[in-house]
Amino acid sequence: MKIINGVFIITLLKIINKVPINKLGFIYVYYYNLSLMFSYLIINV
């Protein structure tokens, strides 16, 4: 029972650790695309 609890806690921690990284990655990609679009508009104008 203790082994199962330990594995569950480790998996839970892994999931919790993945969430902020994925959110940061999403924000990074979003702003990267936004800056690309913005520079593209500046070049065209």
pTM assigned to the model: 0.40
Domain membership flag for residue 31: yes
Domain membership flag for residue 10: no
Domain membership flag for residue 44: yes
Which structural domain, as residue segments, surrounds residue 29? Answer: 18-45
Q: What is the CA radius of gyration of the chain?
A: 20
Domain membership flag for residue 28: yes
Q: Which pLDDT does position 44 carry in this prediction?
A: 64
Domain membership flag for residue 7: no
Tell me the pLDDT of the chain (45 aa) as tens digits.
566 777 777 787 777 667 666 677 787 878 888 887 787 776 665
Domain membership flag for residue 13: no
Domain count, the chain: 1
- The separation between the first and the last C-alpha atoms of the chain, rounded to the nearest angstrom, is 66
Domain membership flag for residue 12: no
